[in-house]
Structure 1
Amino acid sequence: MDGQAQVQEVYAASAARLVAQLFAVTGDYAEAQDAVQEAFVRVLARPGRLRQVDNPEAWLRTIALNVARSRYRRRAVFDRLVRSGRLTPADRGVPELSPDHVVLVAALQRLPRATRETVVLHHLADLPVADVAQALGCSVEAVKTRLVRGRRALATDLAETGDPAGALVASTRDRGIRHA
């Protein structure tokens, strides 16, 4: 059995158990999922290592626990910096989202990753095309192509869901988001 097939087999057999165990440790289900996912990502980077381990689930549990501990320590350092006054935290409350924003985010999630990143950086982060190209490590022409494809896909998607795309575009324009 090759390394990737073994990782898939171990994932199918033990991922849910590992998440439940990490949830009990962290008290945060999303954090537990993230830690287990990170453990599997690390194993996928070097799948041959899994064959060298007597108990893959125990080994992955150790990796996931270490990931959770590291993340906890980083959060603790950040919290200390905030309490000391050396950092001012961004608003930690949940931002109010208009129905249009929720619909737009859902439509963005249906775009291919590269197109979604391009559209978000240009239209929501308000970066010029050249800066988007630099951030994504691609050409200006690639950014322009992705923007055209992204806009077309969003217009089609939003029209199919019954949300008037024009209203959504207008609502983003009202918030100062460029449409180039």
Structure 2
Amino acid sequence: MTVTTEPGVDASPPGSVAGDTRPNKPGKVEFDAFYHAHFRSMTVHLCAYTGDLGQAQDLVQEAFCRAFARWDKVVRYDDPVAWVRRVAWNLATSRWRRLRTAQAYLRRQREEYVAGPTPDRVALTAALALLPPNHRRAVVLHHLGDMSIAEIARQEGVAEGTVKSWLHRARAALAAELTDRKEQNNG
């Protein structure tokens, strides 16, 4: 079949240069066929190397994504499959090195020993839980947070005399509760 055109009209396929005998530019359809033809075998190889099918699939997928981004260059290589395979193996090696480095770092970390709460701390925590919330906040902010009565009053939006009252009542309630607990434990 002969294609006739008017003088001055180019009949070459879109994307090609007039008089160019090379095939059309490689496109998505060609990449799809390439991907479907080689994904499974590369995944099997990487699975044997990594010992993890999910990780192998991720690595091969990443290699194909990198190939797709440069497909017009990669397809012109003598062996595009070898390029994708090399990228996948390099990704696997890099992942293995990062994992090895992270594990070495974790082995170097000292295990910190934190002692459990003492009986006195457990008793204090239980006694604080019995206080009304505003009294508990005043005690915690004043004695543990090192805040002054004026700072607590500003934060809580009350007069300084109110904070003093909360602290007095909270201390009295804590003293009574902790004394009762001590007598129960000793008696």
Q: TM-score, normalised by structure 1?
A: 0.45
Greater C-alpha radius of gyration: 2
Name the structure where helix makes up a greater proportion of residues.
Answer: 1
Structure with the bigger RCO (C-alpha within 8 Å, sep 6+) is 1
